[in-house]
Structure 1
């Protein structure tokens, strides 16, 4: 089948169950609605996520196998909601946050030699032939070891492909610092309100009440002018919201769903990326990861 006869294919490489929804949920849903074949690669089983009652790995009540099984079921539901065409599970053990003992546990994603995991991913790429690949930057957006490893194996996998197997475009996920600043402000306000409620007095809050200081400059994301690609997902925020809600075992998602659909859509109605490889010559900034590819 020639390139012009087959549907465009998007591949998103993510570290854990729920990353697909938070980072690229809108892009996946929009692409699927537009007839693009969407392939999600999830590298780990999520076993270091929260167990019942917010228990962490190593605490009583945290069963890594049970957490992984639950998160796998949540991932399947999220993929259904986002219209993902193909889910590929690499099946490595979740490494946990940077500095956790689980980083060095046998079988953790962080301990897997990059060439080994990269060859497995390259095999998926050769089979699926993505036109566009999306993953994290070299810091994994926020320094999580599994995100960093996902970046490393994606770069190494791409380097293993022949010239005619290469995707036309490659992107890193990111977020504008203006959006991050607003989200941090919301977190700070909610933390202060919670502290006031617990203390029973109006002045119990403040910048040290349990959330980041909204006045601090955000260190995550990029300045708006450094972002190459702004994808309008305003028609798909309900699907993204529902996909995040499907990962209900993980309380980190609760902040976003607690915003409510309207505020969620206002704050997160655009997904942003940095284009790092391109064969189309399409100028940036752009509003479509498939710019230069549609109609070929």
Structure 2
């Protein structure tokens, strides 16, 4: 048995590298401040591009070994973020990267896009039973930008939440990753004349598959103190994010603010108080009691009145 911290955060991501790009600073921030951070990755990212020429043979249309290699990259990223509890949904290799929407890879028999929703959600429910997170993070209905595995990760996470609610153990709050329109507008303006403009060809924000009105943002996690950890985690995913990536160009221009500030909408739960614009929360646990999740669980064990500071659950570790 292991005693876990009173604050427990669960993140559900589609592929290795998604955690670092979208929520790396948040993960590092909460890990550094003593929360138990659990990362669930739904696929190995087998269909990803390879930006390291000497590893080109690992590609899906060649040796098809990229997924195994990316397990190591993800381990390096988690180490950089200070996250020690990582799981692959259903076990490593249970679900395969589906590739971009509309490709033949969507139909692969192990493609995550083809996963039975209740079976996949059942795998996540097992983790919820074990860790009892108060807060869960995943994507919105469009998977942030429309990738089938991101959409499926959203569906699985939300279905698992429904199943957990039926057992009285659902996370009290569910957040979806988001990008405020004001931030996108600033980027569009800043890079208008840049040679490495990531917005090249975009003249209006409505052309982007993401972007949330600022008033709809619920939380802004300022983890600028963890910007270096996030960048290190991203660099661990070398096959996916080349050293010349525009992500690092933006970081060079905006520094800690770009790498260290992340935004979320609130899909489930009550919004707590916050000091940010429009009352944005600055803490994802805002408004929650020290332990709003039902707590321990081993063969139906019940929490006692003196257990508020921590939850006792079966030992967890790197998977």
Same fold (TM over 0.5): yes
> What residue number does 1:156 align with?
159
> Partners of 2:217 and 2:44 in 1: how far apart?
31
CA contact (8 A) 1:185 1:214 kept: no
> What residue number does 2:12 align with?
13
CA contact (8 A) 2:25 2:229 kept: yes
| Partner residue of 1:102 out of 100, 105, 118 | 105
> Partners of 2:143 and 2:27 in 1: how far apart?
19
CA contact (8 A) 1:241 1:261 kept: no
CA contact (8 A) 1:10 1:39 kept: yes
> What residue number does 2:21 align with?
22
SS in 1 for 2:64: helix
> What residue number does 2:262 align with?
271
| Partner residue of 1:290 out of 285, 291, 309 | 285
> What residue number does 2:227 align with?
237
> What residue number does 2:247 align with?
256
Q: Relative to structure 1, is the Cα distance of residues 37 and 6 closer, same or farther in structure 2, using a 3 angstrom cutoff?
A: closer
- 1:53 Cα offset (Å): 5.5
> What residue number does 1:146 align with?
149
CA contact (8 A) 1:229 1:272 kept: yes
> Partners of 1:20 and 1:38 in 2: how far apart?
12
> What residue number does 1:202 align with?
none
> What residue number does 1:82 align with?
81
Q: Relative to structure 1, is the Cα distance of residues 64 and 36 closer, same or farther in structure 2, using a 3 angstrom cutoff?
A: farther
> Does residue 43 of structure 1 match 2:38?
no
For structure 1, the residue ranges without an aligned partner over 5 or more in a row are 195-208
Q: Return the TM-score normalized by structure 2.
A: 0.78
For structure 2, the residue ranges without an aligned partner over 5 or more in a row are 292-319
Q: Relative to structure 1, is the Cα distance of residues 233 and 63 closer, same or farther in structure 2, using a 3 angstrom cutoff?
A: farther
Q: RCO greater where, 1 or 2, for CA within 8 Å and sep 6 or more?
A: 2
Deviation by residue 1:247-286 (Cα, 9 ceiling, x = unmatched):
1111478221233456242334311001111157657531
Matching of residues 44-193 of structure 1 within 5 Å: 44-51=43-50, 62-63=61-62, 65-90=64-89, 91=93, 92-161=95-164, 162-185=166-189, 189-190=193-194, 193=195
- 1:175 Cα offset (Å): 0.7
CA contact (8 A) 2:223 2:261 kept: yes
> Partners of 1:69 and 1:268 in 2: how far apart?
27
> Partners of 1:231 and 1:145 in 2: how far apart?
27
Q: Return the TM-score normalized by structure 1.
A: 0.84
Q: Relative to structure 1, is the Cα distance of residues 72 and 189 closer, same or farther in structure 2, using a 3 angstrom cutoff?
A: farther
Query: Please, which moves more after superposition, 215-224 or 132-141?
Result: 215-224
Q: Relative to structure 1, is the Cα distance of residues 260 and 134 closer, same or farther in structure 2, using a 3 angstrom cutoff?
A: closer
**CA RMSD for the aligned pairs?**
2.9
- 1:180 Cα offset (Å): 2.1
- 1:215 Cα offset (Å): 3.0
| Partner residue of 1:215 out of 196, 203, 210 | 203
Q: How many residues align?
A: 277
> What residue number does 2:300 align with?
none
Query: Please, which moves more after superposition, 170-179 or 256-265?
Result: 256-265
> Does residue 226 of structure 1 match 2:213?
no
